[in-house]
């Protein structure tokens, strides 16, 4: 038994998990799966693939619950809107991608196509899958402790997130409403790459195209388009005082 434990702890992935989160996995397979992108599925058929997508789904749910509980107690005098907005910023794709990079997850992700890095959020997705694996391997309380102590406190600047609004779609909708202008987002399904489906988004202000974007989901495409629209509005305002 002791020889088995020693071998398990010497596994490169176990060493990595211990170095970042201070525990050795009980089931190393869960963590190998967490780093397996769908392009490198262990088993793939028309209807079923073994990769990190199911763990990503679980990790996303676990992360939202833990962040929600943390913020509930951390900000006892704030309303539901404040807490929801702040949680959204913490678990945003950009934020999770950045944290995953700091944790050196990209080095461990198994994938077939290197171009996937440029058009998707596989780093942040892998972080969610890793959280799912930790939850199954260690349970809720240990996972909560790890997320708070090893992810939120060292890598999330909550004061900065409170002061800076990155909800670009919300910003441009508010701006349009304050100026009594109509606003519409139009989405289309597109092929981002050979192996990646996604969406394009166009923002129309008073039926005039003002911004474009794309992403792996309608939500991320809308955010990208809204950011582009806000940049265009600011440039136009600076040039000729319109908008």
Q: Rounded to 5 degrees, what are φ and ψ at 185?
A: -105, 130
Tell me how far apart the alpha carbons of residues 194 and 64 are, in angstroms, rounded to a whole number. 31
Tell me how far apart the alpha carbons of residues 20 and 151 are, in angstroms, rounded to a whole number. 10
| Buried-exposed string 3-29: b where 16+ CB fall within 10 A, e elsewhere | eeeeeeeeeeebebbeebbeebbeebe
Q: Which two tokens stand for residue 138?
A: 């260690």
The residues assigned a catalytic role are: 60, 128
Q: Strand 208-215 vs strand 196-205: parallel, antiparallel, or unpaired?
A: antiparallel
pLDDT number for residue 117: 46
Domains and CATH numbers, the chain: 14-163 (1.10.1520.10), 168-240 (3.30.160.20)
Greatest alpha-carbon pair distance for the chain in Å reads 75
- Bridge partners of residue 205, in order along the sequence: 183, 208
Cα separation values, 215 from 143, 148, 173, 198, Å: 30, 29, 19, 6
Tell me how far apart the alpha carbons of residues 121 and 113 are, in angstroms, rounded to a whole number. 14
Number of other CB atoms surrounding residue 224 within 10 Å: 20
Q: Is 23 left (phi over 0), alpha (psi -120 to 50) or beta?
A: beta
Dihedral of the alpha carbons of 217, 30, 8, 13, in degrees to the nearest 10: -10
Q: Taking the CA atoms of 5, 11, 13 and 19 in sequence, report the sign of the dihedral they define.
A: positive
Helices 53-74 & 122-138, crossing angle to 10 degrees? 80
pLDDT number for residue 193: 75
Number of other CB atoms surrounding residue 214 within 10 Å: 17
pLDDT number for residue 47: 57
Full pLDDT tens readout for the chain, 243 residues? 444 455 667 788 999 999 999 999 999 999 999 998 776 566 655 555 678 899 999 999 999 999 999 999 999 999 888 898 899 889 988 889 999 999 999 888 887 665 444 445 789 999 999 999 999 999 999 999 999 999 999 999 999 888 877 778 888 998 898 889 999 999 999 988 777 788 999 999 999 999 999 988 888 899 899 999 999 998 887 766 555
H/E element, 221? helix 218-240
pLDDT number for residue 1: 44
pLDDT number for residue 118: 42
Name the 3-class secondary structure at 142: helix
């Amino acid at each position: 038994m002791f020889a088995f434990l020693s071998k398990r702890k010497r596994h490169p992935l176990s060493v990595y998990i211990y170095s970042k989160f201070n525990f050795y996995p009980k089931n190393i397979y869960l963590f190998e799966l967490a780093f397996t992108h769908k392009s490198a599925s262990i088993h793939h058929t028309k209807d079923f693939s073994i990769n990190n997508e199911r763990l990503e789904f679980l990790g996303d749910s676990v992360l939202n619950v833990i962040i929600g509980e943390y913020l509930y107690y951390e900000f006892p005098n704030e309303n539901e809107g404040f807490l929801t907005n702040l949680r959204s910023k913490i678990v945003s794709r950009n934020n999770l991608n950045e944290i995953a990079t700091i944790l050196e997850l990209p080095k461990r992700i198994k994938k077939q196509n290197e171009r996937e890095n440029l058009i998707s959020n596989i780093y942040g997705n892998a972080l969610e899958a890793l959280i799912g694996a930790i939850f199954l391997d260690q349970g809720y309380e240990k996972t909560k402790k790890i997320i708070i102590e090893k992810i939120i406190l060292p890598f999330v600047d909550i004061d900065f997130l409170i002061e800076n609004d990155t909800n670009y779609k919300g910003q441009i909708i508010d701006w349009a409403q304050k100026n009594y202008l109509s606003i519409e987002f139009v989405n289309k399904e597109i092929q981002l790459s050979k192996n990646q489906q996604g969406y394009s988004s166009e923002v129309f202000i008073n039926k005039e195209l003002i911004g474009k974007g794309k992403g792996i989901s309608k939500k991320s495409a809308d955010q990208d388009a809204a950011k582009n629209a806000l940049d265009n509005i600011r440039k136009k305002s600076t040039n000729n005082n319109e908008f």
